[in-house]
Structures are given as structure tokens and as C-alpha cells.
Amino acid sequence: MPHTDSPGFLAGVIEGFYGQPWAQAERLELFRWMADWGLNTYFYGPKDDWKVRAIWREPYTDREAEPLRELIRGCEQHHLHFVYALCPGLDIRYTNTADLDHLKRRCEQMHWLGCRHFAVLFDDIPDKMAREDLERFGTLATAQAHVANALFDWTRERSPQARFLFCPTPYCGRMAAAQLGGEGYLATLGKELREGIDIFWTGPEIISREITVAHVRDLRQLLRRKPLIWDNLHANDYDGRRFFCGPYAGRPRELRQEVAGLLTNPNCEFPLNYVPFRTLAEFVRGEGPWDPRAAYLSALREWLPSFALSGPPITFEDLVLLGDCYYLPYEEGPQAIALHDLTKNLLARNPTQWGADAAAFRTQASRLRDVCARMTELRQRTLFYALSRRLWELREEMDLLDRYVACRVAHPDPKATCGSDFHQPGTYRGGLVAKLQRLLVLQPNGNFTPAPPIP
């Protein structure tokens, strides 16, 4: 039986990133994809809808509420769960009954619009409490459980089958090991939260390369329930220079038996999420061993028509090369790795020893640079706008490397200098952020060291 057909299993998409929320038309397109692919849950919680987080006490105006009503109806039409989230943790006073009343009124407004499923999120907040809160509750976990239980009871009184989701303050293994939220936070939460409340978890890390069955089973002992995976594998709100269009990977299909659901919090730019969503759906619904690369290539073939150009069409092979350059947080795709290794090995040698490798590199560099340049011809302009800044940067790097290799082939003398009129100091890799990034070097073990002084 496909897991999205299993009772209670949630599979779908979280709009929960930092940055500009998606457009309404994009969300409605998402619902069509999800219905076609067998996903069942849409989670509304964009961090920068300021009435979700920054000013959570304030209700929506009638004008603001109407698009939410449309989304709820859209989910109903496609047989999807619509989950609405509130993030009060930045300034809530746990002992203040007025704050709990604000939360209930916010839920009441959403219930009136047709929402039946809710979430309360305490992620990315200071793990401290006001003195009065500490004196009454003793621990942060107890205080948060008090609020969540009250909202859960309120929700179930109105909708007995409602789902209620909770995000803890330490929501990954590293945070829990550092005792964020206080000693014994997760165990207290597991004991004190109502049995029907699902608890979010991102895995060993905020962005987890792998989530194993053993990791989840250990967590279940603390939480006294199956965790609900909030998966940040394809999230890019922490790094605006990248996006991730690789496959759903690093999770065995056996994981589905151990969790209450799998929800992905993806790239901020909706048009870049086709492959992440498509491969998640295949992961959830399929059977047998999971082959991420095969799923990736299959999804790219489906995505290829979106790359229609005003000129000659882009080939599937070119799309694979481009996608491999923006694969997953911890790895590039095979073709991007091969290009990087070819370039690195070439530059490590004396130009007099380059031979045919220089021509091979220039062919690959020219190909990738031209693919990036041709994206300006994309007919689907929203896709182009989502790609443009990243592809411009990649195009510039390939152009510079190609120029440098050409220069060194023509002038192999070690004393020869190579420059570029198109890559000048200040305008190329310029600005304060770039200067600051050059001051510390991130080592493979995760430690930082000062950069060597420039002669």
C-alpha cells in the first residue's frame, strides 16, 4: 500500500522558509502537482508572513484572509490536508492567559475560514523564559507543552479528527546534544504533550545529509511517538547563492515505517522545486530499494518541457549537467563533480603538461557557460527569474576559468600574467560580504582557521 494511503501518514510540502512567500498561483499549481503525484499535505507557515511569526497576535484583515480561504478551498478540492502554523516563541509569555487567548483567537479565525489542522512552532527562538514563567513551569518544555496542549484541546473540541503539529526548540540531534531548551527537554516534551500531537524533527542536523532508521528509533523512545520529519534537505533560505534540484536522497524507504510523515521545506523559489517534490512523491509512494539518481533523471525528463526556449531547444543532457551543478547541499551531481575534478587537476599542473586536458576542459567550460547564457531565452519567465542570478554567477566563473586556461596555453611561462577585462577587482567577487568570507577558511572537519595572509 502506498504510504500516502496509510491512515494518518502525512506526506507533502511545507511553505516554512525565511524570505518572500510563494505567490498564490504557485500554491495552486502545487496543489495540482500534489494531487497528481499522491502527496496529501500542504503546510502553511512562511516565516515572513509576519502574522505567522513577527506579529502573531494580530488577526488577518478581511483582505488578507481571502487568499487563505482560497488556499483552504483549493486543498479541499484536491483532497489535501491544509495545516496552518503559528510561531509565537519570540515573545510569548507562557503564564499570560492573554497570550493563550490570542493564539486561540488566531486559530478561531482560521477555523472560520475552513482550516481544521494546526501547528504551533517554537523553533529558532531563544531558549530562555521570563522569571515568572520559569517560576511557574520550571522548564521550557513544560511551558511549551502547556500552550500546545491547550490549543490541541481547543482544536479537537471543534474538529475531533484534526491533526495538531508541534515544533520543539531543539529540533535536530545536534541541538538536543547541546541541551538547547534545557536538560531533558525532549523527554519532558514526550511525557507531557498530549498523545495526539505530532512532533517535528529535522534529523541529526538542521539540514541532514542522512536520516537513518536507527536515529529515528532512538528518538521515538524519548518522544513516546513517531516523529514527523520536517525535511530541510532542499531548503536554500540560508544560502541565497544556491538552490537544490537534486533528488530526495539520504533516507532509506524503511524510514517510512518509523515516522508519522515526511514533509519537505524546500527552495524559496517555487519554480525550482519540481524535482524535489516529484522525487519525494516517488519515495513515499513507491516500493523496493530507493534509487535517488534514477528518480532524479526521471523527474528531470518530466521537467524538461518547462525549459522551452525561444531559440533551439535545450537538450536533456544539458539539463542534467546544469542540474548536477545545483544538486544537494552536501554534494554536486556526477557531471559537476567530474568538471570540478578536471579543472582542479588541470590547474595543479604546469601548463606545459596540460596537453589534451586543456582542450577537454575548454570544451566542457564552453558548454556549461553557453547553457547558462541560453537560459535568458526561457519562455517560462518565472523560472528564468528564479534561476538568473545563480546562473549568471556560474557563467562568470566558467568564463573566467576558460579565459585563464586559454591564456596559460598561449603563455605557459610561469612568469606570464593573466587578467580579464570582464573580471575586475571590486566589481567581480566584490563587496563587504565577499571580503569577510575570505578572512576565515572552513576546513573539511568543520573548523574555521584564519586565511593565510596575502603577500
- Model pTM? 0.95
Which pLDDT tens digit goes with each residue over 73-118? 999 999 999 999 999 999 999 999 999 999 999 999 999 999 999 9
pLDDT for 1: 43
Which pLDDT tens digit goes with each residue over 327-357? 999 999 999 999 999 999 999 999 999 999 9
Name every residue whose Cβ is closer than 8 Å to that of residue 395 and which is 6 or more positions away in sequence.
Answer: 369, 372, 373
pLDDT for 92: 97
Residue type (1 letter), 339: L
pLDDT for 6: 66
Q: Is 407 exposed, middle or buried (0-12, 13-18, 19+ CB in 10 A)?
A: middle
Give the Cα separation of 439 and 252 in Å (integer).
39
Partners of residue 83 on adjacent β-strands: 43, 117
Which pLDDT tens digit goes with each residue over 156-213? 999 999 999 999 999 999 999 999 999 999 999 999 999 999 999 999 999 999 999 9
Low-confidence ranges of the chain (pLDDT < 50): 1
pLDDT for 4: 54
pLDDT for 151: 98
Give the Cα separation of 95 and 97 in Å (integer).
6
Catalytic entry in 36, 91, 101, 124: 124
3-class SS string, the chain: CCHHHCCCCEEEEEECCCCCCCCHHHHHHHHHHHHHHCCCEEEECCCCCCCCCCCCCCCCCHHHHHHHHHHHHHHHHCCCEEEEEECCCCCCCCCCHHHHHHHHHHHHHHHHHCCCEEEEECCCCCCCCCHHHHHHHCCHHHHHHHHHHHHHHHHHHHCCCCCEEEECCCCCHHHHHCCCCCCCHHHHHHHHCCCCEEEEECCCCCCCCCCCHHHHHHHHHHHCCCCEEEECCCCCCCCCCCCCCCCCCCCCHHHHHHCCEEEECCCCCHHHCHHHHHHHHHHHHCCCCCCHHHHHHHHHHHHHHHHCECCCCCCHHHHHHHHHCCCECCECCHHHHHHHHHHHHHHCCCHHHCCHHHHHHHHHHHHHHHHHHHHHHECCHHHHHHHHHHHHHHHHHHHHHHHHHHHHHHCCCCCCCCCCCCCCECCECCCHHHHHHCCEEECCCCCEEECCCCC
Kindly list the structural domains of the chain, giving each domain's residue range(s) and its CATH number in brackets, ordered by start: 3-290 (3.20.20.80), 316-430 (1.20.58.240)
- Residue 124 designated active-site: yes
